[in-house]
Amino acid sequence: MAGIALLLDFLKRNPSLSTQSLHSYSLFSATVAASAAAASIAAGKPFASRAIFGDCDLPIAYCDAGASATWDAEYIPNVRSVSENILPNSFKYRTKEYPLELKPLFSAFSFRSLTITSLRSFLLFYLPLLEPRPPVEENDDFLHEAPEEKPVDLVAPFQNSVKQIIRETSVVTIRRVLERLAVHHVSQRMAWKLLKDVPKSAKRKAARGMPTLSFFYSVSGTTFRGHLLGVAASWIVQVVIEIYRCFFRKNINSDEDISINEKIRLFRRKLYGTTVKCSASLVFASVGAGIGALFHPSTGQWIGCALGDFAGPIIAIVCFEKLHLQI
């Protein structure tokens, strides 16, 4: 610092050196003068005090003499323009949401659902009684006696219809219970796939313009997951029925008591047959939904799923009979 002070004093005593000539050299620029002044002020404090209190009271100098502290618009971005460019793009790539819509627990006992179930069950067992019988000709030589007309039994179809109503309402109620268990015990993404509305999903997939094979595979997989809880509920109800038939219901046709080992063997065979039928129903419903969605994304998927669900157990029974296996 003493050398710099002597140099400045030397410049003052020599009038031949002008201020302009001094500023023409980069050595004597305003930057050097500002740094020298800052160093002189900092030297006035002891080293210990600077370490404790710091140099927060140092004056701020411009880099060049006469320069103003103005910000250049090219180097300082506009915050508003940045927010306008970045924020809309960030909203375009939002994370996928998984909405879960649980139906009421006792939705099977609502007026509309119970009416449709009852009507379908009664038609299923009473329509065969309305089949027309061929008229008997009087001059028929092959018939020596007219067949006796048996009285129409209306009690047995009624009992079967009530049993079918109880079965279907039980399946729907158990499915609602399984849906709530899935929501609370599996991930949100998997629960959304199990509870997804499959016809609407097939319609959304058709709007993407997917290839035919990819569309078929995607709809079949979605139907498999969406139909899984319904098949599981049907399997549980059927297993409970088989437990009652094998272990608790008395055999009216035979007076002999069946041993417990025979009951267990019979129950294992029934359980195996029920599992095969439900698995076939799930697989053929998924395949039928994929084929039906190729014709119409929403309605075709629903019709194909219903046909596959109905035809799956029948195809399984026929295949097992061809292989001479009991089911």
Span 261-288, pLDDT tens digits:
888 999 999 999 999 999 999 999 999 9
Question: Are 237 and 170 a contacting pair, CB within 8 Å?
Answer: yes
* Alpha-carbon gap, residue 84 to 325, rounded angstroms: 71
Distance (Å, rounded) from C-alpha 322 to C-alpha 313? Answer: 14
Write down the pLDDT at residue 324: 81
152-191, pLDDT tens digit by residue?
Answer: 778 888 999 999 999 999 999 999 999 999 999 988 889 9
Q: Which residues of the chain have pLDDT under 50?
A: 17-77, 79-80, 82-84, 86-87, 90-91, 93, 140-144
Question: What is the rounded CA–CA span in Å between residue 260 and residue 268?
Answer: 12
The predicted pLDDT at position 155 comes to: 86
Round to whole Å and give the CA distance between 136 and 325. 42
Nearest to 326 by CA among 244, 245, 265: 265
Collect contacts of 213-217 with beta carbons under 8 A, ≥24 apart.
215/293, 215/294, 216/290, 216/291, 216/293, 216/294, 217/290
The CA distance from 52 to 3, in Å, is: 29
Euclidean distance between CA atoms 166 and 288, whole angstroms: 28
DSSP count for the chain of H helices, then E strands: 13, 0
Query: In this predicted structure, what is the pLDDT of residue 243?
Result: 93
Tokens in use for 192?
Answer: 């959304």
CA distance 249 to 310: 28
What is the spatial distance between Cα 65 and Cα 29, in angstroms, rounded to a whole number? 8
Whether pTM exceeds 0.85: no
Distance, first Cα to last Cα, the chain: 106
Non-local (6+) Cβ contacts of 251 within 8 A are 258
Residue with tokens 């119409």: 296
pLDDT for residue 127 = 85
* Nearest alpha carbon to residue 281 among 239, 257, 314: 314
Q: How many residues does the chain have?
A: 327
Compute the distance between CA of residue 273 and CA of residue 320 in angstroms, rounded to an integer.
10
- In sequence order, the 6+-apart residues with CB closer than 8 A to the CB of 67 are none
- Both tokens of 236, joined, read 């549980």
